[in-house]
Amino acid sequence: MPVTATTSVPDAERLRALVRDFLATHDPRERLRFLRARFDAGLAWVHYPEGLGGLGLPRALQSVVDEEFAAAGAPDNAPRRNLIGLGMVAPTILRFGTEEQKRRFLRPLWTGEEAWCQLFSEPGAGSDLAVLATRAVRDGDDWVVTGQKVWTSRAHEADWAILLARTDPDVPKHRGLTYFLCDMHSPGVVVRPLRQATGEAEFNEVFLNRVRIPDAHRLGAVGDGWRVAQTTLMNERIAIGGGAAPRETGALGVVARTWRERPELRTPGLHDELLRLWVAWEVNRLTNERIRQQLANGQPGPEGSAVKLAFARLNQRVTGLELTLLAGEGLAYDDWTMRRPAGVDFTQRSPGYRYLRAKGNSIEGGTSEILRNIIAERVLGLPPEPRTDKDVPWKDLPR
């Protein structure tokens, strides 16, 4: 039976049959051709609409597809390397993009032919993203963008970026923003590495010098960028907070393994701390699973901020416990050269690297202070903190 995106699949067994039929008729050794065909067959993300890599099925059935392809040894689309594109950009384009934008961008994004980065953070914005100053000015069918972004992961490898820019300085800060899809190969885009405490240059600063973006690459309405960005940010926090992970993985798994293999390092106090962290880590892992199920039934909610906040705190405590456990041995560092890593690795690197890199968890994907505000106001329903600049035009804000 040929596999097409219009095939009706009422249950998991029929979906498994679809995957097996696909595997029987496509050569996995031709990786890119295989991935493109998988997208066209609706077996990329089954919860997406037909024609956009999916079959319009419940998101929970994605695991059925992934299990079948993995069991067959088929190539995947390197999801860890394409975290920003798959986890943040794709759901935003799906929700706010035009039909033309969806068909132009989603296929090469999913196959990994086009890499993405996120041009949100700015040096002068601090924790309050809404005060960003990068300007976009309309010029005919284009927008001319000028400004500076910072802490941009993978900008040096990206083909495209999601960009938040100010298009109206005469209205309050949240209302004057517009969301764009920016070609990173455009004239005027300059990417420079940023060296971190770990010695690596995982991030970049990006300068935008009169970069022209066609209005056709605007995502959402003019001035509605803050609302569009919320979809990106909520997906980002869930992505950083952790995916579906087995018990005792990540930094906690490393510490637990050391504890079992090195009994001479144990003390009663460290034993109690490890138990506390193990329980808290497991609570966060299961909470994340619950939120992922919530995602399967619709849009992500503000509860993802709690998972990301808890992950940041736990990861820092676990990596600190590892250094205490290993004492002087844990302070040895493996590399201070300015490497450009493909991703963050909390299991294969040294304890010193894990300790230093975990500090960034409090900043990336929304600072812990901002996440606490989101949880207080949008999850718990507490009164908002006073905002004296709420109705003040952005151009009149002190800077």
The catalytic residue positions are 236
The residues, ordered by sequence, that sit 6+ positions from 167 with a Cβ below 8 Å of its Cβ are: 135, 136, 137, 138, 143, 176, 177, 178, 222, 223, 225
- Cα-flanking dihedrals φ and ψ of residue 135, to 5°? -100, 140
CA distances from 37 to 19, 120, 271, 282, 335 (A): 12, 33, 52, 38, 41
Closest CA relative to residue 139, chosen from 214, 232, 217: 214
The helix-helix angle for 250-261 and 304-326 (nearest 10°) equals 30
Strands (E), 155-202: 160-166, 177-183, 189-194
Rounded to an integer, what is the distance from CA 358 to the centroid of its chain?
Answer: 16
Question: What is the rounded CA–CA span in Å between residue 357 and residue 197?
Answer: 8
CB atoms < 10 A from the CB of 237, how many?
26
Helix (H) or strand (E) holding 282: helix 268-296
Angle between helices 351-358 and 250-261 (to 10 degrees): 150
